[in-house]
Amino acid sequence: MQIWNWSGFFSYLINPYILNGVLTTIWLTVVSLIGGLVLGFVVALMRRSNLRLVTVFAKFYIWLFRGTPLLVQLIVIYTALPQLGIRFSVIEAALLGLALNEAAYLAEIIRAGIDAVPDGQSRAGRALGMTERSIMRHIVMPQAFKVIIPPLGNSVNGLLKTTSVTSVISMEELLRRTQVLIQEKFMVLELFAVAAIYYLLLTTLWDFVQRRIEKKFGQSTQKLSLEDQR
């Protein structure tokens, strides 16, 4: 058996089965990001609530999902919950796990962004007769956004790679499909190289997009990218 098979490597680089896995990785990222953002925003608002019970719940949520590995969360959702009668398909379980996990990280990022806007800004909005909802939408969030974008971008980069964890519940994304082919063809090195190249491609493309967004909203990554997760 030869050590490195070039023709095998190139054929898997354009293999439709693998390419479909790449697409799955992309939409898993996009959908769980959207879910994570919506849920993360809600948790961030709960975290800042005046009602103690609500705050405690939000804190507990963040503590739980940031304090346990996504791997464990996925297995609980996919294999343990059915024993309680709550059943999810692989796709549902994968999306749910990713979104719930992502939300815990994003909630903290969003909260930090909101906290960075001085109280005086909300007070000025209130003094003009604006409702809390309007103040959040027109005054606080646009300013918080600038602070949120750099760590959010890094979080998306992480998420692109983290989707691979869903392979353990047999979600057919890039890594899972790579592993399936490895089991059939035994070209371990070639196939993992192909997978690595696609992850690199995705994260590099995202880097490029992120830089464009940051430029548009004017704040450097270095200043605020303290968030490094997983």
Partner 1 sequence: MIEINQVTKWYGDYQVLKKCSTRVEKGEVVVVCGPSGSGKSTLIKCVNALEPYQEGAILVDGIEVGNPKTDLPDLRTRVGMVFQNFELFPHLTIEQNIMLAQRDVLGRSSELARKKAKGLLDRVGLADQAPKYPSQLSGGQQQRVAIARALAMDPKAMLFDEPTSALDPEMISEVLDVMTGLARDGMTMMVVTHEMGFARRVANRVIFIDSGEIVEDCPTDEFFAGNRNPRTESFLSKILNH
Please give the residue ranges that form the binding site for partner 1 (CB under 8 A).
120-121, 123-131, 134, 138-139, 142-143
Q: Least distance in Å: CB of 168 to partner 1?
A: 43
Comparing CB distances to partner 1, the nearer of 55 and 134 is 134
Comparing CB distances to partner 1, the nearer of 131 and 225 is 131
Comparing CB distances to partner 1, the nearer of 50 and 83 is 50
Q: Least distance in Å: CB of 130 to partner 1?
A: 6
Q: Least distance in Å: CB of 214 to partner 1?
A: 16
Measured CA to CA, the distance from residue 140 to residue 13 in angstroms comes to 46
Exposed/middle/buried for 26, CB within 10 Å: 0-12, 13-18, 19+? middle
Angle value at C-alpha 58, between 52 and 60, nearest 5 degrees = 100
Comparing CB distances to partner 1, the nearer of 36 and 125 is 125
Q: Least distance in Å: CB of 55 to partner 1?
A: 19
Supply the DSSP string of 49-94, one letter for each residue: -S-HHHHHHHHHHHHHHHHS-HHHHHHIIIIIGGGGT----HHHHH
Comparing CB distances to partner 1, the nearer of 126 and 161 is 126
Tokens found for residue 93: 């379980």
In angstroms, the Cα distances linking 70 to 102, 159, 167 are: 9, 11, 12
Q: Least distance in Å: CB of 135 to partner 1?
A: 9
Supply the DSSP string of 23-55, one letter for each residue: HHHHHHHHHHHHHHHHHHHHHHHHHT-S-HHHH
Comparing CB distances to partner 1, the nearer of 113 and 125 is 125
Q: Least distance in Å: CB of 131 to partner 1?
A: 6
Closest CA to 25 of 205, 186, 187, 189: 205
